[in-house]
């Protein structure tokens, strides 16, 4: 992110007004990250607002998500508004490896977008990112207005902010669900629940899986199976079934956090999955399915259901629509997400929608930045409502217009994204640079995310109707584990590996008694790997986070 250091002070005597005006020079050169003197003369002369500086300046920026050149219409408008030109550092190869190399060599760009988690924490611990508190207080009015309490929650243990969260703010939006073919549901007599937003009981869901097998033993001469999963994405499978049982990221009991598998409902969940498998309702090859195989299977019409994030079946849905015999039923031929509720679970307490209100990435200003004031002003503009609509909707008068007090996209923009999302984003710049982006609607009610939220497809619409109420904020629970490179981190790895090793075996166990026996064996292995010590770390970090956020 942008260059930082002490701002040189100078005063010019104006003959007409006889006033001293403090100006921030672009030639700053502090290396200690202290922003207390980065305010120009205004810090000592009545806090007079600094004059806006839109003179040309270039910052280097490493964005782990994109390496495209900063030269599209949106980029040019940002430069026009701020004077800032961004030189993107191409994230070739593995972005994480590149970030580690830059940190080790101390060869840092002016700004960085780093995924929240261990790597971002490593940058902060190494002193590679500047504290932003003073800069935000003096030059970030839009940041303070838009981020609000999020700034409190993204503070480090020392009470300082070292990054701005990206894609922040809790949004009631679905994630996981049980995906079922709508046309088949109607043929099986479940048409009343196909579109009305009502959840299914576990018994109703199992009844549909069985009815599919009975009604369609073969499709195009090939045997059918009610369900299949993506073996490359075990997390999506687990989180979908956990959602059904209302299982949280951790099991909280007696003021302590335990691994989720200690929740009594987790064993119930495993037994339910095992019963589906032993009834022949789950694909016997599910655990070894690669993503491409999984998508091909769903595209054949020989499978009725899966457990996944609803956006992960876009390719099969496109093929199924194209292959629909009746053009009027193309939309119905797709997989749609539904809520299934386990016995004894309140439908409003299901947890299909884990969402972190603190977002995906952290955007920071590196210690190498020589002009932190211009850098934070640049980010402040992007964080403003004007900046959000520019980044996510494009240029007013070119990509959208204000009509009746609302942002209104031009038809050719929506059509461009429908035709080729990637190409049109690169051409227009819309949604290409997603820096300091906030979830939700702007002041006129239109969503900041034009393409993701303004005009949704039929699958997304029903997902929102069926599952948006299952969203919950995971921010308190994310990244509570041990720091990387510690002995406890090795324990964490062993526990995770044990869970991954046993999960398929539990689902495919020969009977319910074997599930319980395997579960007990797995938990003993986890305890031997250091689970008890890890759970103390989870609890300690959890309590510290709650205290920090007060």
**What does pTM read for this prediction?**
0.81
Residue 255: count other Cβ atoms within 10 Å of its Cβ: 8
Question: Could you tell me which residue, 512 or 48, shows the higher pLDDT?
Answer: 512
End-to-end Cα separation, the chain, in angstroms: 29
Domain termination site, one of 351, 372, 391: 351
Residue 483 DSSP symbol: P
143 falls within a domain: yes
Q: Are residues 215 and 296 in the same domain?
A: yes
Those residues whose C-beta lies under 8 Å from the C-beta of residue 222, and which sit 6 or more positions away, are 300, 302
Q: Which pLDDT band, with edges at 50, 70 and 90, does 372 fall under?
A: very high
Write out the two tokens for 405. Answer: 């007090």
What is the total count of domains within the chain? 3
453 falls within a domain: no
Beta bridge partners of 86: 59
Q: Are residues 338 and 254 in the same domain?
A: yes
111-126 confidence digits (pLDDT tens): 999 999 889 999 999 9
- Please check the confidence at residue 484 and state whether its pLDDT lies above 70: yes
261-291 confidence digits (pLDDT tens): 999 999 999 999 999 999 999 999 999 999 9
- Please check the confidence at residue 40 and state whether its pLDDT lies above 70: no
261 falls within a domain: yes
The tokens 């510290």 sit on which residue? Answer: 544
Q: Are residues 308 and 391 in the same domain?
A: no
pLDDT at res. 418: 86
Residue 220: count other Cβ atoms within 10 Å of its Cβ: 8
Q: Are residues 184 and 320 in the same domain?
A: yes
323-333 confidence digits (pLDDT tens): 998 888 999 99
CATH number at residue 338: 3.40.190.10
Q: Are residues 246 and 308 in the same domain?
A: yes
Write out the two tokens for 230. Answer: 């993506």
Q: Are residues 106 and 225 in the same domain?
A: no
pLDDT at res. 455: 84
How far is residue 214's CA from residue 216's CA, in Å, rounded to a whole number?
6
Q: What is the average pLDDT across 319-342?
A: 94
470 falls within a domain: no
Q: Which pLDDT band, with edges at 50, 70 and 90, does 31 fall under?
A: very low
468 falls within a domain: no
Beta bridge partners of 306: 179
pLDDT at res. 203: 98
Q: For residue 218, give the 3-state DSSP assignment.
A: strand
Taking CA atoms, 349 is separated from 76, 248, 345, 438, 477, in Å, by 46, 10, 7, 26, 17
- Please check the confidence at residue 255 and state whether its pLDDT lies above 70: yes
pLDDT at res. 93: 78
Q: Are residues 141 and 185 in the same domain?
A: no
Beta bridge partners of 251: 258
- Please check the confidence at residue 316 and state whether its pLDDT lies above 50: yes
Write out the two tokens for 269. Answer: 């969940």
Write out the two tokens for 246. Answer: 């209302």
Cβ burial, residue 325 (10 Å; 0-12/13-18/19+): exposed
Q: Which range is least confidently modeled, 51-55, 210-214, 240-244? A: 51-55
Q: Are residues 210 and 305 in the same domain?
A: yes
pLDDT at res. 456: 85
The tokens 């502090």 sit on which residue? Answer: 30
455 falls within a domain: no
| String of DSSP letters for 291-315 | HHHHHHHHHTT-EEEEEEEGGGGHH
Are 115 and 361 spatial neighbours (Cβ–Cβ below 8 Å)? yes
Closest CA to 455 of 405, 432, 421: 421
- Please check the confidence at residue 29 and state whether its pLDDT lies above 60: no
407 falls within a domain: yes
4 falls within a domain: no
- Please check the confidence at residue 241 and state whether its pLDDT lies above 90: yes
Q: Are residues 209 and 324 in the same domain?
A: yes
How far is residue 68's CA from residue 77's CA, in Å, rounded to a whole number?
16
Q: Are residues 164 and 180 in the same domain?
A: no
Q: Which domain holds residue 103?
A: 57-168+359-447
Domain termination site, one of 298, 328, 351: 351
Domain termination site, one of 351, 372, 401: 351
Q: Are residues 366 and 339 in the same domain?
A: no
Q: Are residues 419 and 293 in the same domain?
A: no
Q: For residue 334, give the 3-state DSSP assignment.
A: coil
Q: For residue 6, give the 3-state DSSP assignment.
A: coil
Are 512 and 274 spatial neighbours (Cβ–Cβ below 8 Å)? yes
């Amino acid at each position: 992110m942008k260059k930082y250091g002490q701002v040189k002070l100078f005063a010019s005597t104006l003959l007409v007004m006889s006033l001293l005006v403090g100006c921030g020079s672009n030639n700053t050169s502090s290396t200690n990250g202290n922003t207390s003197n980065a305010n120009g003369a205004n810090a000592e002369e009545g806090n007079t607002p600094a004059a806006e500086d839109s003179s040309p300046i270039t910052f280097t920026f490493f964005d782990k998500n994109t390496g495209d050149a900063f030269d599209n219409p949106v980029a040019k408008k940002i430069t026009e508004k701020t004077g800032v030109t961004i030189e993107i550092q191409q994230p070739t190869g593995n972005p994480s490896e590149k970030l580690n190399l830059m940190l080790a060599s101390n060869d840092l760009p002016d700004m960085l977008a780093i995924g929240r988690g261990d790597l971002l924490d490593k940058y902060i611990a190494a002193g590679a990112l500047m504290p932003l508190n003073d800069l935000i207080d003096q030059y970030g009015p839009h940041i303070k207005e838009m981020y609000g309490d999020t700034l409190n929650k993204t503070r480090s243990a020392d009470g300082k902010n070292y990054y701005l969260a990206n894609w922040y703010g809790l949004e009631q939006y679905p994630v996981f669900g049980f995906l079922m073919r709508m046309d088949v549901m109607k043929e099986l007599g479940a048409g009343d629940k196909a579109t009305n937003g009502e959840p299914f009981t576990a018994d109703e869901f199992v009844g549909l899986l069985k009815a599919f097998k009975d009604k369609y033993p073969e499709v195009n001469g090939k045997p059918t199976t009610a369900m299949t999963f993506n073996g490359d994405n075990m997390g999506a499978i687990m989180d979908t079934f956990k959602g059904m049982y209302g299982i949280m990221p951790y099991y909280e009991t007696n003021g302590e956090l335990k691994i989720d598998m200690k929740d009594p409902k987790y064993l119930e969940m495993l037994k339910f999955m095992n019963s589906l498998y032993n009834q022949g309702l789950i694909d016997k090859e599910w655990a070894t399915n690669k993503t491409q195989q999984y998508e091909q299977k769903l595209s054949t019409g020989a499978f009725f259901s899966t457990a996944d994030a609803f956006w992960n079946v876009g390719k099969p849905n496109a093929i199924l629509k194209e292959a629909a015999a009746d053009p009027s039923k193309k939309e119905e031929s797709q997989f749609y997400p539904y809520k299934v509720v386990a016995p004894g679970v309140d439908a409003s307490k299901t947890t299909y929608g884990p969402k972190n209100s603190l977002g995906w990435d952290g955007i920071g200003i590196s210690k190498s930045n020589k002009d932190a004031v211009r850098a934070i002003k640049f980010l402040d503009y992007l964080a403003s409502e004007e900046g959000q609509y520019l980044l996510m909707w494009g240029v007013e008068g070119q990509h959208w217009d204000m009509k009746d007090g609302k942002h209104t996209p031009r038809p050719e923009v929506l059509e461009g994204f429908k035709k080729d999302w990637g190409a049109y984003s690169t051409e227009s710049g819309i949604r290409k640079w997603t820096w300091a982006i906030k979830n939700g609607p702007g002041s006129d009610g239109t969503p900041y995310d034009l393409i993701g939220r303004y005009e949704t497809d039929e699958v997304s619409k029903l997902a929102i109707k069926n599952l948006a109420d299952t969203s919950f904020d995971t921010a308190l629970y994310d990244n509570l584990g041990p720091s990387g490179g510690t002995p406890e981190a090795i324990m964490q790895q062993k526990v995770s590996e044990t869970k991954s090793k046993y999960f398929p075996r539990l689902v495919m166990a020969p009977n319910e008694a074997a599930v319980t026996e395997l579960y007990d064996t797995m938990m003993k292995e986890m305890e031997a790997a250091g689970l008890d010590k890890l759970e103390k770390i989870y609890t300690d970090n959890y309590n510290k986070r709650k205290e920090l956020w007060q």
